[in-house]
Amino acid sequence: MVPATKYVDREIPQISLLNFEQRIDQISDQICNAAETVGFFAVKDHGLSEAEVQSMFSVSESFFKLPDTKKASVPWSPQNVGWEKMSQIRPSTGEADTKESYQLQFGENMKDLWINDEDLPGFKTKSLEFMHRVQGISEKLMLCLARGLGFADDYFVKYHDTSRPDSQSTLRLLHYYETPKTNDGIVRHRAGAHVDWGFLTLLFQRTGQSGLEICPGREAVTEHALGDAWTKVEFEPGVIVCNIGDLLMSWSDDRFKSTYHRVKAPCEEGDYFGERYSIAFFNQPVKDAIIQGPKGKYPTVTGEEFTRAAMTRNFGILKEKLAAKKKEQSNAKLVDAPVHVEVGA
């Protein structure tokens, strides 16, 4: 029996980007304050219309409606791109998320991993147009975060240059499967509790398809502490929810918080059990980016080294979780299956 979730109210600031150039100091203060406290904030008046967002959701849905045989033509690769289905296992749960996703990037990692235009006409063009639009919003937020840390305005922007062939920023299209409303004793995790290990995430969701919840409390990027009190994050049309990732937490000497979050496994009255679509844009620096905060709290690493260390750490925790489960189920035959670790939700 899954215990009832303990909920508390926490403020997730909504920050307007209206008249950005004229209000940049005020906006920077608001963003950095949110990053220092809850690690999540929402932006509005960002210039991306709701029609553009819904159009991208339609593009996403058209991909997920393809037969699995077609989607399998663009399989997930270690470069963090491609399609996966029920293969992401979170260290917090030891179970596969009940979802599928298709991850897209700007650069050379996408070679041969765009769905065939004959199967989905215009998919690549429409996706890249949306990705560039979201990248433009991300760069405004990067400027504000750089100012807050005392860096030059273009400090983070130059390390997220999408024109470089080794660009790592990723758009993840997500489709969570409908779950049964009758309790059959199985907990179907949608996205188990985790932190994003990238720089900054921008998240889009369809109205009414709830489930995102947060649990702040980490004081250092090296900690994996997780409390028991959650806060629901409600979505509104025209608003983009943003959250800090582990890489930016390290880059800020732990000043900005990378917060645990999840898409709740539906199990209580009031939960959303239907199929759910969301879109996440993970800002990730290029491989040779130099990562070190203004106070030098952590040793200097490259973007590539930070990602590799994050993957190693997550795999280590996952192995411990699966070993504990295997011990509990010593009489059951456990079959090894491919596992993949991603940048976040």
pLDDT the model gives residue 334: 44
pLDDT the model gives residue 4: 76
The residue that leads in pLDDT, 308 or 25, is 25
pLDDT band at 214 (very low <50, low <70, confident <90, very high): very high
State yes or no: pLDDT of 335 exceeds 50.
no
State yes or no: pLDDT of 2 exceeds 70.
no
pLDDT the model gives residue 337: 46
pLDDT the model gives residue 148: 97
Looking only at the bridges linking them, the beta strands covering 14-16 and 40-44 are parallel
Percent of the chain with pLDDT over 70: 86
State yes or no: pLDDT of 338 exceeds 60.
no
Domain assignments of the chain as residue spans, ordered by start: 6-328
Q: Count of CB atoms within 10 A of residue 103's CB?
A: 25
Q: Count of CB atoms within 10 A of residue 30's CB?
A: 18
What average pLDDT does range 20-43 have in this prediction?
A: 97
pLDDT band at 223 (very low <50, low <70, confident <90, very high): confident
Please name the amino acid found at residue 291. I
- Give per-residue pLDDT as tens, 170-198: 999 999 988 877 666 666 777 778 899 89
Percent of the chain with pLDDT over 90: 61
Mean residue pLDDT of the chain comes to: 87
- Give per-residue pLDDT as tens, 118-131: 999 999 999 999 99
- Give per-residue pLDDT as tens, 235-280: 889 999 999 999 999 999 999 999 998 887 777 777 777 788 999 9
Enumerate residues 6+ apart whose C-beta is below 8 A from 231.
Answer: 7, 8, 9, 10, 12, 213, 214, 215
Do 217 and 246 contact (CB within 8 A), yes or no?
A: no
The residue that leads in pLDDT, 341 or 48, is 48
State yes or no: pLDDT of 298 exceeds 90.
yes
Whole-structure pTM value: 0.89
pLDDT the model gives residue 94: 67
Q: Which of 342, 336, 345, 263 is nearest to 5 (CA)?
A: 263
Q: Give ∠ CA 147-282-121 in degrees, rounded to 5.
A: 130
Whole-angstrom Cα distance, residue 120 to residue 102? 14
State yes or no: pLDDT of 61 exceeds 60.
yes
pLDDT the model gives residue 93: 66
Rg (CA), the chain: 19
| Of 55-64, 76-85, 263-272, the least confident | 263-272
Report the CATH number of the 6-328 domain: 2.60.120.330
State yes or no: pLDDT of 336 exceeds 60.
no
Whole-angstrom Cα distance, residue 109 to residue 155? 24
Q: Which of 193, 316, 162 is nearest to 262 (CA)?
A: 193
